[in-house]
Structure 1
Amino acid sequence: MAYQDLAMLYDRLMADAPYEQWVSFTEFCVRNYNLKPANQLLDLGCGTGRLTCQLAEAGYTVTGVDLSEHMLTEASARALNANLAINWIKQDISKLEGFQDLDIIVSYCDVINYLPGEESVRAALHAIAQSLRNQGLFIFDVHSIKHVRDNMVNQVFSEVADDFSYIWFCEQGSQIGEMIHDLTFFVKDRTDSVYHRFEEQHNQLTYSALYYQQLLYDAGFSTIDIFANFQQTKLVADQADEQGDRLFFVCKK
């Protein structure tokens, strides 16, 4: 999952993603949890930096972390064009290091679901907790079990545009909450008008809200609240899985 070819298409594929809502939810959490100061923010799985730049424009001092050099190249160009001072760092978030006393860490757009298994999730959550100051916030979202079951597995998605097209098969993995995404792209070359094909496979794995809650307590977080679909009503962990497609966890160290 190197995103080598996908990086150049990513922003177009994500054109309708709810970036403004992610920013608004972050600011709701800062207010609601009375986080002061709320300056130093780390964006994990920042991709091409669209959300990272919006968070910087909202006034945060932001660092973006991603595993893909190609995505970070796109992100750096975006920040340069917007005249934003953002640090970009290539790291695996399950091996996060070099950060301490941060006010806020965010990881949106189901980035945590890309971690390959329980031990990787445990390692990431522990490293994230260690990177925050006391009372700092970690905010992230994941696919709900309901969303994976009802809307994703055994589905086919596609798009045809003038200069690219794709077909995307989403298959059930070997366990509940696991998805295997097989994507085939056809992209028109700007120089010779020939369509070039490339393929990517992405694996995602989600867990129950109750299990995430336990992992977060084990990692050292003292307060864990659960929300769904950008709503501001807290959910009970053992009922949250069926109450939204995208679950949000707001975790105070």
Structure 2
Amino acid sequence: MRAEDAYRRFAKYYNMYVQEFMDDIPVYLKLCEGAKDIAEVGCGTGRLLKPLLDSGYRVTGIDISDAMMSIAEMKLNYYIEDGMLELINHNFIKSYTSKQYDRIFVTFYTFNYLIHDDEQTQFIKNVYKSMKPNGIITIDLFYPKTMANPEYEDKWSDEKEYFHNGVKVLMKDNRKMIGEIEERIQIFSQEGISDEIKTCRRFVNKKDMYKLLKDAGFSKIRFVEGYDYSDLHELAVDESTTAGFMAIAEKL
């Protein structure tokens, strides 16, 4: 399933599913310092947009899903009317933006949904063209759960309980790796009705991410693990990828 199709179906669950995740917010707030024009790519329903806006930053939220952005628009309409937030539908695989940004954040594993080499390459090149000189890109990349914990391979998880518009929703998922690709099935059940959503994400290690950024023209490429900004470091020759990480680079 293509990412935009999955997000269209997932939009009604996404807000309840990800809003409680806050581990990455301090890193993005740190990286916003001194920036005027900030964009989040893969903004979804506005999980990160709101804390950035609440901190006084003007932000552009970018996504390929109109369904996701409709929810963000309803939640954050005050900021739109106040001129602090702009929401746009844009696909960086196809083109760069007419506006250039000081910071572009590719958040919450958005990049991992790019399965093919040419998609990844074109995405990075177009983001580069969308940035001002001395701009900073940050890409958040996942480490597959089944690589960290092989016992979860092709096994159904225990059900997790959420509430959506006052109605209890049960969610369980199944993940398996085929080469670099994680195939994931999520089943959401509420009031006797189930919705099954299938997605694929590609694992990208640090060395491959470094090459993608360098080939696109980025410099000062560094990495952070565990959303710990104090861990910011250059890639070591023998460095392996054993956890999720952020890649941070500059356009000079």
Asked if the contact 2:146/2:176 (under 8 Å) is kept, the reply is no
Q: In structure 2, the residue corresponding to 1:95 is in which secondary structure?
A: coil
Is the contact between residue 101 and residue 134 of structure 1 (CA under 8 Å) also seen in structure 2?
Answer: no
Once the two structures are TM-superposed, the CA of residue 24 in structure 1 deviates from its matched residue by: 1.4
The offset of 1:143, in angstroms, is 1.2
In structure 2, C-alpha distance between the alignment counterparts of 1:78 and 1:50, rounded to whole Å? 10
User: Which amino acid is the alignment partner of residue 169 of structure 2?
Assistant: F
- The partner residue of 2:62 within 60, 65, 71 is 65
Work out whether residues 100 and 130 of structure 1, in 8 Å CA contact, stay in contact via their aligned partners in 2: no
**Residue number in structure 2 paired with 1:233:** 231
Contact 1:226 1:240 in 2 (8 A): no
Contact between 2:19 and 2:47, CA under 8 Å: does it hold in 1?
A: no
Q: For residues 162-218 of structure 1, what are the alpha-carbon distances to aligned partners after superposition, in whole Å with 9 as ceiling and x for unaligned?
A: 622122111112x23x10111122123xxxxxx322221110002220111011000
SS of the residue corresponding to residue 225 of structure 1 reads: strand
Report the residue type matching 2:193 in the other structure.
H
Alpha-carbon deviation of 1:4?
2.9
CA contact (8 A) 1:105 1:139 kept: yes
Counterpart for residue 71 of structure 2: 74
- Decide whether the 8 Å contact of 2:224 with 2:245 is kept in 1: yes
The TM-score normalised by the length of structure 1 is 0.84
| 8 Å CA contact retained: 2:96, 2:129 | no
1:172 is aligned to 2:177: yes
Structure 2 residue corresponding to 1:200, chosen from 197, 200, 207: 197
Aligned positions, number: 235
| Structure 1 equivalent of residue 244 of structure 2 | 246
Q: 1:123 aligned to 2:122?
A: yes
Question: Does 2:156 match 1:159?
Answer: no
Separation (CA, whole Å) in 2 of partners of 1:4 and 1:12:
15
Aligned to 1:55: 52
Residue of structure 2 equivalent to 1:149: 147
Which residue number corresponds to residue 24 of structure 2? 22
Is the 8 Å Cα contact of residues 93 and 123 (structure 2) preserved in structure 1? yes
2:194 corresponds to which letter in structure 1?
R
Aligned residues with identical type, % of pairs? 19
Q: Aligned partners of 1:53, 1:93: CA distance in 2, in Å?
A: 23
Tell me how far apart the structure 2 counterparts of residues 144 and 182 of structure 1 sit (CA, whole Å).
17
SS across alignment from 2:127: helix
Shift of 1:74: 0.4
Extract unaligned runs of 5+ from structure 2.
none
Task: State the alpha-carbon separation in 1 of the partners of residues 55 and 155 from structure 2.
Answer: 37
C-alpha displacement of 1:44:
0.2
2:188 to 175, 182, 185: 185
2-structure distance, mates of 1:250, 1:91: 22
Q: Which residue of 1 aligns with 2:86?
A: 87
1:49 to partner: Cα distance: 1.0
**Structure 1: 5+ residue stretches without partners:** 189-194
